Structure formats: C-alpha cells, structure tokens
Amino acid sequence: MAAAAPVRAWRERDGRLLRIRLDRPKANVLDAAMVAALDAAFAEAVAAGKGPALRGILLDAEGPHFSFGASVEEHLPATCAGMLRGFHALLLRMLELPVPILVAVKGQCLGGGLELACAGHLVFAAPDAKLGQPEIILGVFAPAASCLLPERIGPGAADDLLLSGRSIDGVEAHRLGLACAVAADPEAAALAWFDAHLAGRSAVSLGFAARAARLGLAERVRPRLAALEAIYLDDLMKRRDPVEGLTAFLEKRPARWEDR
C-alpha cells in the first residue's frame, strides 16, 4: 500500500482560503517528501485557473504538534546539501508569495518547523506551544532562522534563541512579536482573523498588500541564505563535532565534544 501523502491541501470559505496541513503526526518531521509536498501546495496557490482567487492561506498541522523540525538523518553529510537547498527554496517561495499566509502553531514548533512558521506572514500560537531553534544543542546552526528571526524579532532576541537553543512558549513568542496572537485554539483564531480581515477584501489588492508588506525581504534573505548554506556545507560539516552531535542524537546518547 502506498504511503499516505505527508501534506493535505484543500479549499474553504467558498474557495477563498487555501488550507495546507502537515499530516505526519505526531512529529510532522520536515523530511524531503514533506518539503516537496509543501512546495507543490504553495506553488498551486498561485497557479492560474484554479478556482476563485485566494484571499489567504492557512498552514497548520495534524496532531498535537506543529513540527519537531527537519529530519536529523537528512542533516548528515551525505544528504544535507540537498536537504538545505530544497527547504530553503520552499521558504523563499513562501516569502515571495503574493497571498497572506497565516500559520497556526500548537505543541512543539522547533528547528525547521519554526523556520517554516517564520516564512508566513502571521503566526497564531497556543499559550503552551514550544517554539525554538535547538540546532546548537546538536552541534549545528540554523541557516534560515539566522536570516528570518532577526527580521521578525530583532537581532538581540534572535541571538538569544539561536545561541542558547532554548524554547519559548506562545506567550513569550507574542511578547517578542514572533506570534501576532495567542489563543487556546490557534486554528480557530486564525480562521476568525481570516473571516474578519481577509475574506471580504479584493484578492487583487491583497496580493499587492502582501507584496508591499514584504518588499525587499526576499532580496535581503536570498543572498544571506546562500552564504550561510556555503558556511554550513563547506565549513561546519567538514568539522568533527557537528557530525558527532547529529550522530549522538540519532543514537540517543550524549555527544562527546572534542572542539574540532
């Protein structure tokens, strides 16, 4: 039997809202198959002749958690180049999409999961959600978050999360400006926001407003992301400790750092 698709996509609100849902609970790991399915779903959002013009997209996840992040196995040297390039292409597509993207986050939203959420326009978070970039704990760093978090919450708060690897809850995410709202049911909150602010608007005007709100963002992120990919692949992954950290995680043991 063929495996179920890792992402579900459908239209609601008379076709004006595209729903995209991560559908590999409970972890919703962003592996190559999930990333490819997400990229196809977002590409479909701007394809011509696909029904009523979109006023918005809501990205959420099946199960108790948004996403544990990218596949750790795919971070290993043999596969990390393809993994990074595919994921970063998806994020750049989202940054350039002329449709407002709402993201509903509950449970864990870590690593690549938080990078994915940060590529949306507005994040609605449960108060007890856990958002963070724990890559440094595994001995690596987060290229996309290193670009996107300073844009959303400023360099100081971004440095805190990127260098510590700590997670914050939805309340702190709202205080920092990472989340636009905190709600016990973030999906319902995002849908209510769509109904109140997007459903009745001109799709053409919303497209221009979405582009205007992010004017220059993709242009700033694209070269930085390329430079960070090069550092990650050509420098970081040639060292011993990053590979040890990832391997230790997969083997469920403490990492043995040698600072080299």
pLDDT digits (tens, 9 = 90+) for 177-229: 999 999 999 999 999 999 999 999 999 999 999 999 999 999 999 999 999 99
Residues in a beta bridge with 56: 17
Place of tokens 């760093």: 141
Single out the residue of 210, 128, 205 nearest to residue 171, CA to CA.
128
> How much is the pTM?
0.96
CATH level 2 (architecture), domain 1-185+203-260: Alpha-Beta Complex (3.90)
Can you tell me the distance from the alpha carbon of 99 to that of 115, in angstroms, rounded to the nearest whole number?
18
pLDDT digits (tens, 9 = 90+) for 95-128: 999 999 999 999 999 999 999 999 999 999 999 9
Domain ranges of the chain: 1-185+203-260
